[in-house]
Amino acid sequence: MNNDINLLYIEDDKETSNQYIKIFKKYFTKVITTSSASEALSILINKDILVDVLITDIQLDSIDGLELLKIIKDVYPNIKRIILTAYNQKNYINKAADISVESYWIKPVSNELINKNLTVLISKIQKIKNPILKEELYTIKINQIYKFNYKKLLLYKNDEIFRLPLRETTLINFLVLSNKEESFSLKDLVNMLYINNTKTEELALRGIINNLKFKLNISKEIVQNSDYNLILYNRQKKTYKLNFNTRD
């Protein structure tokens, strides 16, 4: 398993390049530098080294950095892309957003911002490279007892798989992927789970929710403790929501 995180850095100003190379070496296993977009593409094509992150200026030799990053996105979608430039015009920032760059750094960028952005990005890459950590990308902690893997559609209770019927799993998946603050009426949830919206389906859904409450609360004390209830009901609004209470 390869845990190396490698950077390809494109900058045509030597003084600027040397300044940032010193910083980037603190974060990456290898830092490959070039002043040319064409040479950068050659490095990627020849696969001399596996590149995980590419940082580039906008003003380059043959094509601008935005065009280069568009090519990288299409041909090498797994490479994370960052812009480091003196250009702060809105049209450049909007174009960068259109091609989904990880960060848009305006020179001179602070060490604090570099550290903040790269720490998050490198952690994300490490999880993708490590099959065990990768599962964390798809797992959402709901509270101190429950977490849900929305890729495998599995609920975990105290880190053990807690198997549920399809409709109960579908309901939890819907609530997990919704906004944490959002709550839903019974009608909203019926429309999500069933083709028809009748009293029969509403009764069935109430049964599903009651079954979940019965199955998932591990003791009478916890039933009464809203910190650990998985699904909360607002009596005034008559709405349901997932109880995100991680205390992180």
Is 84 contained in some domain? Answer: yes
pLDDT confidence of residue 80: 95
pLDDT band at residue 3 using 50, 70 and 90 as cut-offs: low
73 and 148 together in one domain: no
Rounded Cα distance between 9 and 25, Å, is: 11
Tally of structural domains, the chain: 2
**In this structure, is residue 248 part of a structural domain?**
no
Residues 125, 36 share a domain: yes
120 and 188 in a single domain? The answer is no
Kindly state whether residue 1 falls inside one of the protein's structural domains. Answer: no
pLDDT band at 115 (very low <50, low <70, confident <90, very high): very high
Residues 107 and 185 in one domain: no
Cα dihedral across residues 31, 35, 39, 45: positive or negative: positive
What is the CA angle 130-132-136, rounded to 5?
Answer: 100
In three state form, how does the secondary structure of 156-217 look?
EECCEEECCCHHHHHHHHHHHHCCCCCCEEHHHHHHHHCCCCCHHHHHHHHHHHHHHHHHHC
Domain stop point among 109, 136, 163: 136
* The dihedral sign for the CA sequence 46, 49, 52, 57: negative
pLDDT digits 0-9 by tens, 140-158: 888 778 888 888 899 988 8
* Token output for 127: 């999880």
Using alpha carbons, select from 6, 22, 16 the residue that is nearest to residue 85. Answer: 16
- What mean pLDDT is predicted for residues 96-125? 93
Question: Which residue range forms the structural domain that includes residue 172?
Answer: 139-242
Is 65 found in the same domain as 152? no
CATH number for the domain harbouring residue 52 = 3.40.50.2300
List pLDDT tens digits, range 182-237.
Answer: 888 888 888 888 887 788 888 998 888 888 877 776 444 444 455 556 777 788 88
80 and 20 assigned to the same domain: yes
Better-scored residue on pLDDT, 116 or 215 = 116
- Which of 78, 120, 81, 79 has its CA nearest to residue 101? 81
Confidence of residue 131 (pLDDT cuts 50, 70, 90): low
pLDDT of residue 51: 94
122 and 143 share one domain: no
